[in-house]
Structure 1
Amino acid sequence: MLKQYFKRIGAKRMVIMLLGNVFLGMGVSIFKLSEMGIDPFSGMVMALAEVLGIGYPVFLILVNLVLLFVEVKFGREMIGAGTVVNACLLGYIVTFFYTIWVRMFGGVPQNFAVRLALVCIAIIVMSFGVSMYQTADVGVAPWDSLSLILIKRHHKLPYFGYRIIGDAIAALVCWFAGGIVGIGTAVCAFGLGPFISFFDTHFSKKLVEK
Structure 2
Amino acid sequence: MTIKKRRVIMAFFGVIITGLCVGGLQKANLGTDPFTSFVTGIANLFKSRYSVFYVVITGILLLGIFLIDKHYIGIATVINLLLTGGAADMMHHLLDSLIPFPGLFARFGIMAVSLVFTCFSAALYFSADLGVSAYDAWALIASDRQQVVPFKFCRIITDSFCVLIGFIFGATVGIGTVLTAFCMGPLTNFFREKITNPMLEE
Normalised to the residue count of structure 2, the TM-score between the two structures is 0.94
Partner residue of 1:122 out of 107, 110, 114 = 114
In the alignment, what sits opposite 1:3? Answer: none
The within-5 A match list for 1:5-84 is: 10-84=4-78
In the alignment, what sits opposite 1:173? Answer: 165
Instruction: Give the conservation status (yes or no) of the 8 Å contact 1:33–1:108.
Output: no
Partner residue of 1:201 out of 172, 190, 193 = 193
Shift of 1:9: 7.4
Shift of 1:108: 3.8
Shift of 1:209: 2.6
2: CA distance between counterparts of 1:88 and 1:22?
Answer: 10
Amino acid at match of 2:130: V
Provide runs of 4+ in structure 1 moved above 3 Å: none
1: CA distance between counterparts of 2:3 and 2:150?
Answer: 29
Runs (5+) with no aligned partner, structure 1: 1-7
Q: Equivalent pairs: percent with the same residue?
A: 27
Amino acid at match of 1:73: L
2: CA distance between counterparts of 1:125 and 1:119?
Answer: 10
Shift of 1:208: 2.1
Structure 1 residue 88 and structure 2 residue 86: aligned? no
2: CA distance between counterparts of 1:17 and 1:200?
Answer: 13
Residue aligned with 2:197, SS:
helix
Q: Deviations over 1:126-160 (max 9, x none)?
A: 11111101210111110010111011101222211
Shift of 1:44: 1.2
2: CA distance between counterparts of 1:207 and 1:59?
Answer: 34
The within-5 A match list for 1:91-106 is: 91-105=85-99
Shift of 1:75: 2.3
- Aligned residue pairs total 201
1: CA distance between counterparts of 2:162 and 2:119?
Answer: 19
In the alignment, what sits opposite 1:186? Answer: 178
Instruction: Give the conservation status (yes or no) of the 8 Å contact 1:26–1:94.
Output: yes
In the alignment, what sits opposite 1:4? Answer: none
Alpha-carbon RMSD across the aligned residues, in angstroms, is 1.4
Residue aligned with 2:147, SS:
coil
In the alignment, what sits opposite 2:140? Answer: 148
Normalised to the residue count of structure 1, the TM-score between the two structures is 0.91
Shift of 1:76: 0.7
2: CA distance between counterparts of 1:113 and 1:54?
Answer: 29
Runs (5+) with no aligned partner, structure 2: none
Structure 1 residue 161 and structure 2 residue 175: aligned? no
